[in-house]
Amino acid sequence: MSEITAPKSPVTAEQFADEIREQLKYAQGVTVEQATPADVYVAAAVAVRHHLMDSWMQTQHDMVNGTTKAVGYLSAEFLMGKQLRNALLNAGLTEQYNAAIESLGFNLQDVVDTEYEPGLGNGGLGRLAACFIDSLASLGVPAFGYGIQYKYGIFKQEFDKDGKQVETPDYWLANEEPWGHIDYNRSQKVSFGGKVVKEGGKKVWKPAWSVRAVPVDYMVPGYASGRVNTLRLWSAKAEDEFDLLTFNRSEYLSAVKPQVKAENISKILYPEDSTKEGKQLRLEQQYFFVSASLHDAIRVFYPGESKPDLTTLPDKIVFQLNDTHPVIGIPELMRILIDEYGYDWDTAWSITNKTFNYTCHTLLPEALEVWPADLIGELLPRHLEIIEKINEQFEAELKAKGVGAVTIKDMAIYTGDSVRMAYLATYGGSHVNGVAELHSQLLKDVTLKNFSDVYPDKFTNVTNGVTPRRFIKLANPRLSDLITEGLGTDKWLSDLELLKGLEPLAADDEFVRKFAAVKQANKVDFANYAKREYGFDLDPDTMFNTMVKRLHEYKRQALKILALIARYADIKSGKLSADDVMPRTVIFGAKAAPGYYLAKMTIQLINNVARVVNNDPDVKGKLNVYFPWNYNVRLAQHLIPATDLDEQISQAGKEASGTGNMKFALNGAMTVGTLDGANVEIRERVGAENFFLFGMTVDEVDKLYADGYGPRKYYEADPRLKAAIDMVADGTFSNGNKDTYAPLVSDWLSKDWFMTLADFHAYTAIQSEIEALYAQPLEWNRKALINVANSGYFSSDRSISDYLERIWHTGPLPALA
């Protein structure tokens, strides 16, 4: 028997059912007989919240009254995924809930299915924020997640009859949303525009307009810590609705306009990912949530004090800037300290500098935000002055350190025309970190080299991680049970390095067979899910080969699709006899930014390759391609546990970390990948012999680029590559229309910025190695199990421990009595 340490609430299933009944009756006004699964979902969510309430209040009390410094994670995105199952797990109520729902006459899945996923993030950065707040709570560290409650999350993706991506709005709040508590009484006023005037020798900002930031609080229950933190998402409301009454009838409609403008601020999540978007509304969003959050922190940590001693702020809370999006917080805290609380510049700077740290999540220079100075000047005139002054101080400091004039100019935070947010963050905070070893090294060597030369001690690395609660326990219950059986305890859920104990079991054929059976059962589940949700017919007896992530050129979905076309051509032409082909089901998931032309065209191409291949009798049973639309956290939770082979094939030096790679390895998939991002560390840990490595390294990429890269050479030299590209060009996947993909083909042959063609040969060459191993199921699964056993490092609990030690210098609250 295994030792079970998972939290379990003393509440009985009968009590829980009664609570649901009460909630249905007294709050929702329906009887159990009248209730729909959606009603029951809301009632169950409210009941879970009730059970978490004491811990939540206790955690807040201990945070404010104790001496443990809290963490404020400032992020424009939190990609939370569904809440109910996660809250039940952490509250120790899963069994009671299951029994209660059944006793009330409802189907478990029906109830869970009514929860609408909050898609308040684009991809990796937003999901990382969600994993991090889960780990903070699970480690018992007092923390706030601060962000925006967008009315519309990431768009819903559909495909039209031509296979093109169509975006539709994601109004996730259309139905009752039981998790967020709107706290009108803790609102903050956030102001914009206007001008700065001098009054009595002091600079005074006279803003032109304001909005009300209303907090919507989400509980963030820790796993087995007894602690519940807060995710505080701000919603914009018109500042003073009563103003309307002063207008007469004819002005009435125009008087409503500012209100509409105000509420627009939190209306929509920007669906861009790694591309520069210089939009005023986006800057408004950034300032909106950051200003509200900083004022909120002061309210929380100095309750009722009109003259708080804010020199102690860095002992109360440390803020992490999740990418450049919240970096306007640096001049905002300066402004609050100087203008609102009367501190002198140097004191304000010392407080600010100690309070902020910055995480960079990209290597693409175009993704580092740069704001036009006149935009900042118009929207936040006082902040622009402060930024100018920060820049002056910075230049003086550099000069004093002996930095040359040219370098000083290169490093300017404020260039006269624009403000470089990554530079402001690097100078304005205590630490800068990248999100994987390689990424952090490249930040120091390339992206922020000048800064790391002058301030070497600021730079550090924290490799990303993922929460094992959502991505193993909830997503993959079969594997979770097998791990617990193998280790003899379920403690791995809060100490993932314990997975190492599975390694000896890789030599035990019987255990490996059980592991293989788990994967097979998950594949059958996914095939059923794909049938139900998408109408697809997946064959679980083929290899499931998955590539899921945002669609971006650097991630190289094009490499995968070209290799797939080449294989299709080989089978069709008889070059590869059907018997020699390992049957594969290739599954893509990806959203493209709505304005990203080539990315959207790649989606269209994948869909049409799928159409042609899936309808071709010549490859029947050998090759199938599916592209379930609207990839999101829910789909990830179903697909990842069912995957045999995962693709992490970005151009070396472009993927900051990746976190999908970690989720797949932890769920027993093998990875084919380049030496990029966290792939490097995964491979190091699981062993080179258990990872399918291919492609150019960062140095080779740089060299090829320096020597002058021409993709056409590769096209001419490799007949399989040539055939694949020619098929795209000649209309094979566009009903004979040669124009459809002409821009894509032209880009591949003339630019190919991410060197897809140069890596094609290596990528296709490694496929035979992959298939040779897959042909020996026991050996494949042995290696997959070794991947699981050695991936414990990639828990977000470990990432958070690293942040605590290297950057935040704080820890958990005292243990609960």
Catalytic annotation, residues: 361, 549-550, 555, 659, 663
When the beta carbons of 225 and 274 are compared against ligand 26V, the nearer one is 274
Residue of this chain nearest to ligand 26V (CB atom): 124
CB 211 within 8 A of CB 288: yes
| Whole-angstrom distance, CA of residue 216 vs CA of residue 321 | 20
Tokens at residue 801, please? 């421990």
The helix (run of H) or strand (run of E) holding residue 562 is helix 557-573
Query: 551 and 602 in contact (C-beta within 8 Å)?
Result: yes
Q: Which of 538, 571, 554 is nearest to 644 (CA)?
A: 538
Q: Which is nearer to ligand 26V, 543 or 639 (CB)?
A: 639
- Restricted to residues 47-106, the positions that interact with ligand 26V (CB under 6 A) are none
Question: Cβ 273 to ligand 26V, closest distance in Å?
Answer: 5
- DSSP character at residue 489: B
Interface with ligand 26V by CB under 6 A: which range of 92-100, 424-432, 654-662, 768-776? 654-662
Among 137, 228, 367, 443, binds ligand 26V (CB under 6 A): 367
Task: Tell me the closest approach of the beta carbon of residue 190 to ligand 26V, in angstroms.
Answer: 20
Contacts of 356 (CB under 8 A, 6+ apart): 318, 319, 321, 329, 330, 333, 425, 428, 429, 430
Q: Does 435 bind ligand 26V (CB under 6 A)?
A: yes
**CB of 435 or CB of 506, closer to ligand 26V:** 435
Binding status of residue 380 toward ligand 26V by CB under 6 A:
no
One-letter amino acid at 27 equals: A
- Write down the residue that tokens 């004039």 correspond to: 405
Please state the closest distance from residue 658 (CB atom) to ligand 26V, in A: 5
Q: Is 464 in the site for ligand 26V (CB under 6 A)?
A: yes
Q: CB-based contacts of 737: which residues, under 8 Å, 6+ apart?
A: 731
Which of helix, strand or coil describes residue 16?
helix
Indicate the residue among 486 and 658 with the shorter CB distance to ligand 26V.
658
DSSP 814: P
Distances in Å between the Cα of 108 and the Cα atoms of 105, 476, 481 are: 10, 17, 20
Among 326, 677, 695, 711, binds ligand 26V (CB under 6 A): 677
3-state secondary structure 596-628: CHHHHHHHHHHHHHHHHHHCCHHHCCCEEEECC
Looking only at the bridges linking them, the beta strands covering 209-221 and 228-238 are antiparallel
Burial string for 512-528 (b: 16+ CB within 10 Å, else e) reads bebbbebbbebbebbbe
Q: Among residues 480 and 632, whose Cβ is nearest to ligand 26V?
A: 632
Distance, in Å, from the CA atom of 419 to the CA atom of 112, rounded to the nearest integer, reads: 46
CB of 126 to ligand 26V, least distance (A): 7
Give the residue from 127, 68, 18 showing the smallest Cα distance to 809. 68
Least separation, in Å, of the C-beta of 132 and ligand 26V? 10
| 756 contacts 650 by C-beta, under 8 angstroms | no
Q: Is 173 exposed, middle or buried (0-12, 13-18, 19+ CB in 10 A)?
A: middle
Q: At what angle do helices 124-138 and 796-803 cross, to 10 degrees?
A: 80
Provide, rounded to whole angstroms, the least separation between the CB of residue 321 and ligand 26V.
13
Residue choice 55, 320, 522, 657 for contact with ligand 26V (CB under 6 A): 657
Q: How far is the CB of 276 from ligand 26V (least distance, A)?
A: 6
Nearest-approach distance from CB 747 to ligand 26V, in angstroms: 21
Total residues at interface with ligand 26V (CB under 6 A)? 23
What would the two tokens of residue 602 be? 């790649």
Answer yes or no whether residue 665 interacts with ligand 26V by CB under 6 A. no
Does residue 802 belong to the site contacting ligand 26V (CB under 6 A)? no
Residue 370 makes contact with ligand 26V by CB under 6 A: no
Q: Answer whether 634's CB lies under 8 Å from 115's CB.
A: no
The reply on whether position 277 binds ligand 26V by CB under 6 A is: yes
Site string for ligand 26V, 120-159 (x = CB under 6 A): --xxxx--x-------------------------------
Question: Is 810 a binder of ligand 26V (CB under 6 A)?
Answer: no
Q: Which of 110, 272, 339, 802 binds ligand 26V (CB under 6 A)?
A: 272
Q: Which is nearer to ligand 26V, 117 or 655 (CB)?
A: 655
Closest separation in Å from C-beta 148 to ligand 26V: 12
Cα–Cα distance for residue pair 154/169, rounded to 1 Å: 8
Closer of 154 and 755 to ligand 26V (Cβ): 154
Which of 50, 276 has the CB closer to ligand 26V? 276
Among 85, 237, 361, 683, binds ligand 26V (CB under 6 A): 361
- The Cα 213–Cα 228 span in angstroms is 23
Residue 363: CB minimum distance to ligand 26V, A: 8
Report in angstroms how near the CB of residue 644 gets to ligand 26V at its nearest.
22
Cβ 171 vs Cβ 196: under 8 Å: no
Say whether residue 433 binds ligand 26V (CB under 6 A): no
- What gap in Å lies between CA 579 and CA 561, rounded to an integer? 22
Site for ligand 26V in 592-631 (CB under 6 A): none
Residue 442 sits in the site that holds ligand 26V (CB under 6 A):
no
Q: Judged by CB, which is closer to ligand 26V: 123, or 326?
A: 123
Closest to 153 in 3D by CA, of 636, 635, 554, 633: 633
Closest CA to 667 of 491, 523, 457: 523
Stretch that binds ligand 26V, among 157-165, 327-335, 361-369, 420-428 (CB under 6 A): 361-369
**How many angstroms separate the CA atoms of 246 and 697, rounded?**
67
- Binding ligand 26V (rule: CB under 6 A), the pick from 239, 284, 323, 752 is 323
Nearer to ligand 26V, 381 or 677 (CB): 677
Tell which one of 177, 490, 655, 681 touches ligand 26V (CB under 6 A): 655
Which residue, chain included where needed, has tokens 């569904």?
82
**Closer to ligand 26V by Cβ: residue 217 or 323:** 323
Q: Does 285 bind ligand 26V (CB under 6 A)?
A: no
Comparing CA positions, the residue from 655, 802, 800, 793 lying closest to residue 145 is 800
Give me the residue label for tokens 């300066």.
Answer: 334
Please report, as ranges, the residues that interact with ligand 26V according to CB under 6 A.
122-125, 128, 270, 272-274, 276-277, 323, 361-362, 367, 435, 464, 655-659, 677
